Chains A and B, each alone.
Chain A
């Protein structure tokens, strides 16, 4: 009796489990895009993707990671499209045969964020190299992403431009946290440190504390985004047609206009430049 009842219970449980595991209804049409934390944290995708879906019926599933990790996701074949911002790493990705072709999409810029008290005394300068030299000279706290993201790569290039070999110059003032843009800003806010951020994430960031923009407008702070279809020759399951449709829309007039239309408090976050040669 008891045995029969427990068997029934087990059978019922099994049926429930099967129901829970079964994919919900019919599989909808979707592609997977691995992108950067900045495009997600800035709210761009919430603005962009509904417009794309309305036009094509294709759902875009975005996994947001640092640029290095996002490209690795593409290398393993776990995404159909990568949408990132680190020119050299993108070129390498295509060279290795993992990507079909890199296309420029849009740009914005990096800004150096710092505490209002400005212990390195750099507010208002336009020279990012001089600003970093001052931070290092005074040993003012600086938070580094340290996660192989596009912003991390940009930061390392800027130290180089400032003539500082960060591996040697680093001390307790240089705090590498190995996390995303938002986490880096939270950390900087908590310890009143300087941090390099992309402008879009900064504009959408709420927990600013004592932080503000201290350096902006240097040409070296330019931040270009590119999009690449993962190579179907390497990964045959890549959704080539739908992935290409997303890239074409993003770099076409409608996608470019939708990007330009995204604003926070009247401020434009990303500037489309798909048509500009060499971008």
Chain B
């Protein structure tokens, strides 16, 4: 009974073209994709560096990155909240309760995943191609661009894992975004709100839309990597 009305509300949400709903979907995508992008820009080079360069304390950094993959979203949210609060060190920016704050919090969540998975993948490739790359004069960090490029399809999986974590979480964006209607309300915080209003079919309907979106993005990424792999030969 409830499940069928959830499907009904999911369909009417998708096909009604309700501007409020589209705005929520748009914001969710904007925040999550920005966070994944930022995490990729920082995490891919860092992860690769961690794989090819030896330095004291390297093992500790690897354990730290691996461990932070399990950073509770609500803790990440709280950290960003305390940083951005008007009474905090970055308060003058006025970023609290804005999409920028949400992107910051989610970047913090995605970054360890990208670093850890990149490090693992690149280290394996480095072991395999080291001699070859060294003979081409690519030693140490100079090999990183080549390794990242050759490992792009494996690394894309890491980014998708990061995307999954960011798009599914509610704890961090709720704390730093404030779930403000029309401004910082995302799919997940809207689901929380509708649940607290007791409108469970609508909440579940929103959930179904979110799942469908995540599937669509994963399918697109899978298709792109298939096509890419074929052309890369």
Chain A residues packing against B (C-beta within 8 Å): 2-3, 5-7, 10, 13-14, 16-17, 20-21, 23, 32, 37, 40-41, 45-46, 61-64, 76-78, 180-183, 185-186, 189, 204-208, 235, 237
Asked if A32 and B97 make an inter-chain contact with CB atoms under 8 angstroms apart, the answer reads: yes
Q: Is the CB of A13 within 8 A of B145?
A: no
Interface range, B side: 20 to 34
Contact present for B198 and A16 (CB under 8 Å): no
Find A182's partner among B98, B100, B149, B197 (CB 8 Å cutoff). B197
Find B179's partner among A6, A16, A45, A63 (CB 8 Å cutoff): A63
In the assembled complex, which residues on chain B have CB atoms less than 8 Å from the CB atom of A186?
195-196, 198
Interface of A, secondary structure class, is helix
In this complex, what residue of B is CB-closest to A33? B180
Closest to A189 in B: B198
Q: Are A16 and B149 in contact (CB under 8 A)?
A: no
Instruction: Please report the C-alpha to C-alpha distance between residue A75 and residue B178 in the assembled complex, in whole angstroms.
Output: 16
- Please give, as numbers and ranges, the residues of chain B lying within 8 Å of A32 by CB-CB distance: 97, 180
Closest to B202 in A: A206
Q: Can you offer 11 A-B residue contacts whose CB atoms are under 8 A?
A: A2-B146, A6-B145, A16-B37, A20-B103, A32-B97, A41-B197, A61-B180, A76-B87, A182-B195, A186-B196, A208-B198
**Would you call B195 and A235 a contact (CB within 8 A)?**
no
Q: Give Cα A264–Cα B193 distance, bound, in whole angstroms.
A: 19
Interface 1/0 per residue, B141-157 and A, CB below 8 Å: 00001101100000000
Known: A6-B148, A186-B195, A206-B200. A61 touches B85 (CB 8 A): no
Given known contacts A13-B40, A207-B199, what 4 new A-B pairs fall within 8 Å (CB)? Answer: A20-B33, A77-B87, A182-B195, A206-B198
Closest-by-CB residue of B relative to A4 is B145
Partner of B197, one of A16, A21, A189, A206: A206
The answer to whether B181 touches A46 (Cβ under 8 A) is yes
Measured between beta carbons, the chain B residues less than 8 angstroms from A78 are 85-87, 96-97
User: What are the nearest 8 A-B pairs in CB distance?
Assistant: A182-B196, A207-B198, A77-B86, A63-B178, A20-B34, A206-B198, A205-B198, A3-B145
Measured between beta carbons, the chain B residues less than 8 angstroms from A183 are 195-196
Q: Across the interface, do B198 and A185 meet the contact criterion of CB distance under 8 Å?
A: yes
| Contact (A13, B196) CB under 8 Å given A6-B149, A61-B97 | no
Contact partners of B183 in chain A: CB under 8 A: 61
Contact in complex: A37, B37 (CB < 8 Å): no
Min distance, Cβ B91 to any Cβ of chain A, angstroms: 7
CB within 8 Å for A77 and B91 given contacts A186-B198, A237-B86: yes
Task: Output the least CB separation between B93 and chain A (Å).
Answer: 11
Name which of B85, B181, B193, B198 has the most chain A CB atoms within 10 A of its CB: B198
The residues of A that contact B34 with a CB separation of less than 8 Å are 17, 20-21
Q: How far is the CB of A47 from chain B (nearest CB, A)?
A: 12
- In this assembly, does B38 line the interface, its C-beta being within 8 Å of a C-beta of chain A? yes
**A80 smallest CB distance to B (angstroms):** 11
B226 touches A (CB below 8 Å): no
Complexed CA–CA distance, A21 and B106 (Å):
13
Residues of B within 8 A of A237 (CB): 86, 92, 94
Q: Does B58 contact A (CB under 8 A)?
A: no
Question: Which has the most chain B C-beta neighbours within 10 Å: A13, A20, A181, A185?
Answer: A20
**Chain A, residue nearest B30 (CB):** A20
Q: Are the C-beta atoms of B30 and A62 separated by less than 8 Å?
A: no
A14 contact set on B, CB distance < 8 A:
41
Q: How far is the CB of A177 from chain B (nearest CB, A)?
A: 12
- Residue in chain B with minimal CB distance to A181: B196
With contacts A3-B146, A207-B200 taken as known, whether A63 is within 8 angstroms of B97 at the C-beta atoms is yes
* Chain B 57-69 interface 0/1 with A at a Cβ cutoff of 8 Å (1 = within): 0000000000000
Chain A nearest CB, measured from B177 CB (Å) = 9
Q: Collect the chain A residues with CB atoms within 8 Å of residue B94's CB.
A: 237
When the two chains form their complex, are residues B196 and A180 in contact, meaning their CB atoms are under 8 A apart?
Answer: yes
Residue of B nearest to A180 (CB): B196
Most-contacted residue by chain B among A37, A41, A76 (CB, 10 A):
A76
Cβ–Cβ < 8 Å partners of A64 in chain B: 179
Inter-chain contact B198/A182, CB cutoff 8 Å = yes
Q: For the complex, give the distance between the alpha carbons of A204 and B196 in Å.
A: 11
Which residues of chain B (33-56) have a CB below 8 Å from chain A? 33-34, 37-38, 40-41
Complex alpha-carbon distance, A204 and B61, angstroms: 51
Q: How far is the CA of A237 from the CA of B92 in the complex (A)?
A: 9
B41 touches A17 (CB 8 A): yes
B180 — which chain A residues lie within 8 A by C-beta? 32, 61-63
Residues of B contacting A21 in the complex (Cβ-Cβ under 8 angstroms): 34, 100, 103
